[in-house]
A and B are shown apart, each in its own frame.
Chain A
Amino acid sequence: AQKITQTQPGMFVQEKEAVTLDCTYDTSDPSYGLFWYKQPSSGEMIFLIYQGSYDQQNATEGRYSLNFQKARKSANLVISASQLGDSAMYFCAMKHNYGQNFVFGPGTRLSVLP
């Protein structure tokens, strides 16, 4: 069964510094996708970045990058040059390429300090 673990319930980072949000996953299927979503206090879910299990390079989207270590089954999100607007809940998620379910981790609440 798919399972996503985010071991950091809450994180603090100083504005303009980089921060890494941890995500590990459990699957026996070799074909899957990993996703990160941001949920600000307003409640909407915003897609940030995607990494496919067969992708050779780590995904990057602007200030977001994904540190993908397939053998360790980890997909950590790195946010560079943190901004106050980055304060939010961040969810890691996984979906098998030929499966149905889209599973989310418990989330990490990031607070960016001025």
Chain B
Amino acid sequence: DSGVTQTPKHLITATGQRVTLRCSPRSGDLSVYWYQQSLDQGLQFLIQYYNGEERAKGNILERFSAQQFPDLHSELNLSSLELGDSALYFCASSLEGQGNTGELFFGEGSRLTVL
């Protein structure tokens, strides 16, 4: 158990709909990352938050948005869903700072299927 919690684990929805994926980082971790993994593909970096502030942005579509709340949990909002958005969405957290290796601890992922 990595200590990172993602909900829901599975989600099936229709094209054009909107969904919200939720992530609770490990206790004490200030940094949250979101990644998208399509079938048999690598991990595409979407966005990173650190202590409530957006820190880095990757290949995140304009239809997608995210935020990190004061209690450090994060949400990824996906709207106007398309078939190609079907993927495994990972949240990962990290303890950054002096003396830490900064490895990412991953949640189990949220598998989104768009029909």
B7 → chain A closest CB, angstroms: 15
**CB < 8 Å neighbour of A100 from B2, B35, B42, B56:** B56
**CB < 8 Å neighbour of A104 from B42, B88, B101, B108:** B42
CA distance A37 to B33 in the complex (A): 16
Contact residues on B (Cβ < 8 Å of other chain), bracket: 20 to 34
Q: Tell me if B104 counts as interface (CB < 8 A to partner A).
A: yes
Q: Tell me if A45 counts as interface (CB < 8 A to partner B).
A: yes
Are A43 and B88 within 8 A (Cβ)?
yes
The majority secondary structure among interface residues of chain B is strand
CA distance A86 to B92 in the complex (A): 23
**With A100-B48, A101-B48, A104-B43: A44-B101 Cβ-Cβ less than 8 Å:** no
Interface centre among A45, A100, A107 (most CB of B within 10 A): A45
Count of A-B contacts judged by CB separation below 8 Å: 54
**CB < 8 Å neighbour of A47 from B43, B105, B108:** B105
Are A50 and B42 within 8 A (Cβ)?
no
**With A45-B90, A45-B92, A91-B42: A101-B56 Cβ-Cβ less than 8 Å:** yes
The majority secondary structure among interface residues of chain A is strand
Q: Tell me if A35 counts as interface (CB < 8 A to partner B).
A: yes
CA distance A35 to B102 in the complex (A): 10
CA distance A107 to B2 in the complex (A): 21
A102 → chain B closest CB, angstroms: 6
Chain A residues positioned under 8 Å from B33 (CB to CB): 102
Chain B residues positioned under 8 Å from A93 (CB to CB): 104
Are A52 and B101 within 8 A (Cβ)?
yes
Are B42 and A95 within 8 A (Cβ)?
no
Q: Tell me if B25 counts as interface (CB < 8 A to partner A).
A: no
A89 → chain B closest CB, angstroms: 9
CA distance A50 to B103 in the complex (A): 8
Contact with A along B35-68 (1 / 0, CB 8 A): 1000001110100101000011010000000000
- Chosen A-B contacts, 8 in total, with CB atoms closer than 8 Å, are A33-B101, A45-B90, A50-B103, A91-B43, A97-B102, A104-B45, A105-B42, A106-B42
Question: B-contacting residues of A (Cβ < 8 Å)?
Answer: 33, 35, 37, 43-45, 47, 50, 52, 91, 93, 95, 97, 100-107
